Structure 1
């Protein structure tokens, strides 16, 4: 239930959507090949409220949805849009209420697709949703729905998600776009050409991350002369959006399967571009080693974020 209804008194002035609106071309999102557009590209389309036929909501709640819908800006012809209504957080979930809007002159049904939860110039997370649950959306209409993101769907803690600047957006996959290597300037300058080629060959030999997924792949691990453990990791971004990592907790296991190092790293907005992989070094001081270095077997190893 929207928090508007938790207030003792509600005036129209108090009712307003907090999320942004993000529209895409219907042809980019839906399989509409062979269907001619009936819309005038210059026309402004105002969408009518459509409540899911299985919903049985109080009259007051329908009034609020109708009021908010009437406040929305018009769409262009043949667009599908997500217009954020409200975002509510608890310890386990982020619940986003939004209008799914269509300016198409025909009834549509959206299938399984990936949605991004976005803030100001950053992606908070992503999740694949079965949007057939939204139902058949009538022509030129707007249907409210709720989208739930859990911590595993997010790139940062729930507590860090802003509720004042947010939105939902469709993630459109570009066809035939290869996953590429993205080297930081310091790596570009210091890494030998043969080592760059080895990284590219490695990238071509491993399974790329799923759409929207962040994946860590170990490159190399070694002890430095000062006894510190250095692990080199390929950070893979399967999203179509650039992401910035502010911090990354890591656990390292050796060939025995035992945890040999654990710690958190401040990355100061390390950016991994859309659909790329970036190598990065993480150095564990001896104080973060959980096993005597002489007993650590690095013939096989893996690094991963600790499970919550």
Structure 2
């Protein structure tokens, strides 16, 4: 690892963020006194770091504030921008005050500006850091490519690198009050089974999956969709253009819906029914055994 090789600064530009170890791992917190834990520098065993560089990292690590017991923390150091690729190289210490070694898997990290704006997000495989020893601060470089950035420029100071705890929670069904009240328990259970059977969403993917379509007596078409949110934040839908296609590829109905707005929480699936007026139904006798709903291009 040579991404730290030119790093000579002894002033951190980033801030600290911390979570309880129970939120990220299956390690149970041990009841302890409110004794704070100092962390010391720990370098990855495969790293070869020049002595001058190690001195700078040790200076920075020793200057970090102590952690409460049973915490995992990311302490921002600095951000470099790759002139060729535009990648943001976010340097940070991964710190642990857990009393036993910690190994982690994939987790989404959020780069947040000092004023709370989401600057970038990406899922990282934290196994690459290896085993995090107790009371240590391990430096690492987290690379965010251009398609994972949401701002034109990297934040300069006061930013934080945060664990997205929500991304580790199982994707769940979230029913609006009208659905909660109208569905029987067995219907809710069946809907949950449908959600569980769907392919896993990619990070920052918004997906719509149809599960019921019915012609009504007045010629309208009612289409029930599962709106699946793979983003790390709530999505608000205020207007949605939608078209329904049958198994033969023919257009059944097309329209644009004004919504309340419809809020879909992070990492959840919310069902919603869209009713196409009769004059927007172009194929009133379509076979609805096979159909798809999509946002028109």
> What's the counterpart of residue 225 of structure 2?
233
**Structure 1 residues 192 and 74, CA gap change in structure 2 (3 angstroms):** closer
Task: Report matched runs for 1:36-51 at 5 Å.
Answer: 37=30, 40-51=32-43
CA displacement, residues 87-124 of structure 1 (integer Å, 9 cap, x when unaligned)? 56787866543221112344x24132423426438796
Task: Report matched runs for 1:278-289 at 5 Å.
Answer: 278-280=270-272
* SS of residue in 2 equivalent to 1:115: strand
RMSD: 5.4
Task: Report matched runs for 1:32-181 at 5 Å.
Answer: 32=27, 37=30, 40-59=32-51, 61-86=53-78, 95-106=89-100, 108-117=101-110, 119=112, 120=116, 125=121, 127=123, 129-148=124-143, 158-160=149-151, 163-164=154-155, 165-169=159-163, 171=165, 179-181=172-174
Counterpart Cα distance in 1 of 2:15 and 2:47: 23
Residue 206, structure 1, aligned to residue 200, structure 2: no
Q: Unaligned stretches of 5+ in structure 2? A: none
How many Å apart are 1:143 and its aligned residue? Answer: 0.5
**Structure 1 residues 215 and 133, CA gap change in structure 2 (3 angstroms):** same
Counterpart Cα distance in 2 of 1:269 and 1:118: 27
Counterpart Cα distance in 2 of 1:64 and 1:228: 69
Residue 22, structure 1, aligned to residue 14, structure 2: no
The 8 Å contact of residues 244 and 269 in structure 1, kept in 2 or not, is answered as no
How many Å apart are 1:77 and its aligned residue? Answer: 1.9
CA displacement, residues 220-260 of structure 1 (integer Å, 9 cap, x when unaligned)? 55899xx9998543223478x75234689888562347495
* SS of residue in 2 equivalent to 1:168: strand
Q: State TM-score, norm by structure 2.
A: 0.63
The 8 Å contact of residues 93 and 137 in structure 2, kept in 1 or not, is answered as yes
Q: Unaligned stretches of 5+ in structure 1? A: none
* SS of residue in 2 equivalent to 1:206: helix
* SS of residue in 2 equivalent to 1:207: helix
> What's the counterpart of residue 234 of structure 2?
243
* SS of residue in 1 equivalent to 2:48: coil
> What's the counterpart of residue 182 of structure 1?
175
Q: Number of residues paired by the alignment?
A: 280
> What's the counterpart of residue 291 of structure 2?
301
Counterpart Cα distance in 1 of 2:243 and 2:62: 54
Mean Cα deviation higher: 77-86 or 113-122: 113-122
Q: State TM-score, norm by structure 1.
A: 0.61
Residue 254, structure 1, aligned to residue 245, structure 2: yes
**Structure 1 residues 150 and 159, CA gap change in structure 2 (3 angstroms):** same
